C-alpha cells in the first residue's frame, strides 16, 4: 500500500510517499481502508517535533474515515464493510491516516451512519470533538445562552458554531467579512469582523450585555477581551494560543463576574467515542456539516500541511488516498 511517511523531523518537505506492507490489526484494532484523512495543525507538530518526537519512519494523520477491511481477534462491535470514523491516531504511539490503510484502536473509532458523508467525517475528528468537548462537556452550554466563538471560519470554529446552534444557543462569532454569509448559514446569530476597533462593544450589544460561554483559540490575544465581554458566571474554554504566555491587563474584570476558565486538549478526552457518537448523530441529522475547503491526494500531503498552517479558508482540508 501507499503511505505518506517522514524519515526525519523537519519541514513539510520531509514527507514522502512510500510503498509499505499493509498492516495487520492488533487484537483490539480495526484495519480501515482510508476514505479521507483530515489535515490538522497538530499533524505538523508531530512532523516537525514540536510535540513529543515520534519514532520514524512515521505516517501522520490524526483524523480518519473509511471502511473496515479487517478486525482483530478481540473485536466484536465491528465487522468488515462497516463505515467508521474517528480521531486520536497519528501521534507518538500510533501510525496515522495519511495512507491507503490504517490500523485503529477500537477506543478511538465509532460507526458512521449511512446518511453522513465519508469525506466530511474524515475531517471531522479533531475539530468537531474539540468543539463538542469545549461547549457541551466543559461549558455545559444551555439553550438560549449567548455563546461567543472566536475564529468561526476555522475548523474548530465552524464546528462550534453549528454545535452551539444545535443546542439552541445564541451564537456570536468572529471572522473575516468574506465568511460572514457562510457562518450565518451554519447557524450563527451574529457574525462580527474580528478586526473592528469596537469589537468588545459590538459583542456586548449583540449579547444584551455579556456572553455566557466563550470558545477561545487564541488566549494570548483574547484573554482580557473574554473577561471584558463576559456575563456573570461566564465559562471560558481555552483551546490554544499563538504565544504560551497569555496574561490579563486587569483581572478584576474576571473576578468581579466570577468568570470560570477551563483550558483543554482534545487528547485528554476520557473516552473519545462519547463525543464522536454525538458528532455522528449531528452529521446524520444535518445539524453539522464539515466544510471541505480543499482535497489533496497522498502525493500532495506536503502542500496540504503547508496550506493548513499558512492559508485562510472556511472549514477543513482533507487528504483522500
Pairing of strands 170-175, 146-149: parallel
Instruction: Set out the domains of the chain in order of their start, with CATH numbers.
Output: 2-124+290-319 (3.90.180.10), 127-267 (3.40.50.720)
Q: pLDDT tens for residues 44-75?
A: 999 999 887 889 999 999 999 999 999 999 99
Residue 153, CB half-sphere, CA atoms under 13 Å: how many? 19
- pLDDT for the residue numbered 3: 98
Distance of alpha carbon 146 from alpha carbon 132, whole angstroms = 16
Residue 116 and residue 284 in contact, taking contact as beta carbons nearer than 8 Å: yes
Distance of alpha carbon 67 from alpha carbon 13, whole angstroms = 30
Q: pLDDT tens for residues 244-288?
A: 888 889 899 999 999 999 999 999 999 999 999 999 999 999 999
User: Above 80 in pLDDT, residue 148?
Assistant: yes
Across the chain, what does the average pLDDT equal?
Answer: 96
Residue 278 and residue 132 in contact, taking contact as beta carbons nearer than 8 Å: yes
- pLDDT for the residue numbered 22: 97
Q: pLDDT tens for residues 92-146?
A: 778 999 999 999 999 999 999 998 999 999 999 999 999 999 999 999 999 999 9
- Fill in the DSSP letter of residue 55: P
Section 178-204 average pLDDT: 97
Measured in degrees and rounded to the nearest 5, phi and psi for residue 135 equal -85, -40
Distance of alpha carbon 91 from alpha carbon 60, whole angstroms = 7
Residue ranges with strand state E in 40-92:
64-71, 83-86
Q: pLDDT tens for residues 11-32?
A: 999 999 999 999 999 999 999 9
Contacts of 251 (CB under 8 A, 6+ apart): 227
Measure Cα distances from 68 to 25, 27, 318, 321 in Å.
11, 15, 19, 15
Residue 288, CB half-sphere, CA atoms under 13 Å: how many? 32
Measure Cα distances from 2 to 17, 59, 71, 237 in Å.
6, 11, 20, 39
Q: pLDDT tens for residues 265-274?
A: 999 999 999 9
Residue given cell 490554544 in the structure block: 240
User: Above 90 in pLDDT, residue 243?
Assistant: no
Amino acid at each position: 500500500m501507499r503511505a505518506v511517511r517522514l524519515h526525519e523531523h523537519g519541514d513539510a518537505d520531509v514527507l514522502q510517499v512510500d510503498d509499505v506492507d499493509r498492516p495487520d490489526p492488533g487484537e483490539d484494532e480495526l484495519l480501515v481502508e482510508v476514505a479521507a484523512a483530515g489535515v490538522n495543525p497538530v499533524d505538523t507538530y508531530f512532523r516537525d517535533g514540536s510535540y513529543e518526537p515520534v519514532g520514524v519512519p512515521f505516517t501522520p494523520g490524526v483524523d480518519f474515515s473509511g471502511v473496515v477491511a479487517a478486525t482483530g481477534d478481540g473485536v466484536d462491535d465491528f465487522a468488515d464493510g462497516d463505515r467508521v470514523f474517528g480521531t486520536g491516531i497519528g501521534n507518538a504511539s500510533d501510525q496515522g491516516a495519511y495512507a491507503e490503510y490504517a490500523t485503529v484502536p477500537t477506543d478511538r473509532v465509532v460507526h458512521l451512519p449511512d446518511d453522513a458523508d465519508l469525506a466530511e467525517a474524515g475531517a471531522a475528528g479533531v475539530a468537531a470533538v474539540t468543539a463538542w468537548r469545549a461547549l457541551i462537556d466543559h461549558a455545559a452550554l444551555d439553550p438560549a445562552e449567548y455563546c461567543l466563538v472566536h475564529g468561526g471560519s476555522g475548523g474548530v470554529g465552524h464546528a462550534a458554531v453549528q454545535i452551539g446552534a444545535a443546542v439552541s444557543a445564541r451564537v456570536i462569532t468572529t471572522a473575516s467579512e468574506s465568511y460572514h454569509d457562510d457562518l450565518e448559514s451554519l447557524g450563527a446569530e451574529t457574525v462580527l469582523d474580528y478586526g473592528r476597533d469596537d469589537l468588545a462593544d459590538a459583542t456586548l450589544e449583540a449579547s444584551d450585555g455579556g456572553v455566557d460561554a466563550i470558545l477561545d483559540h487564541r488566549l494570548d490575544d483574547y484573554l482580557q477581551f473574554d473577561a471584558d465581554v463576559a456575563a456573570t458566571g461566564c465559562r471560558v474554554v481555552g483551546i490554544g494560543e499563538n504565544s504560551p504566555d497569555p496574561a490579563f491587563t486587569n483581572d478584576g474584570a474576571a473576578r468581579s463576574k466570577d468568570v470560570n476558565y477551563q483550558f483543554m486538549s482534545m487528547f485528554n478526552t476520557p473516552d473519545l467515542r462519547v463525543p464522536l457518537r454525538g458528532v455522528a448523530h449531528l452529521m446524520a441529522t444535518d445539524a453539522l456539516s464539515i466544510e471541505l475547503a480543499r482535497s489533496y491526494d497522498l502525493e500532495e500531503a506536503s502542500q496540504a500541511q503547508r496550506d493548513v498552517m499558512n492559508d485562510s479558508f472556511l472549514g477543513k482540508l482533507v487528504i483522500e488516498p
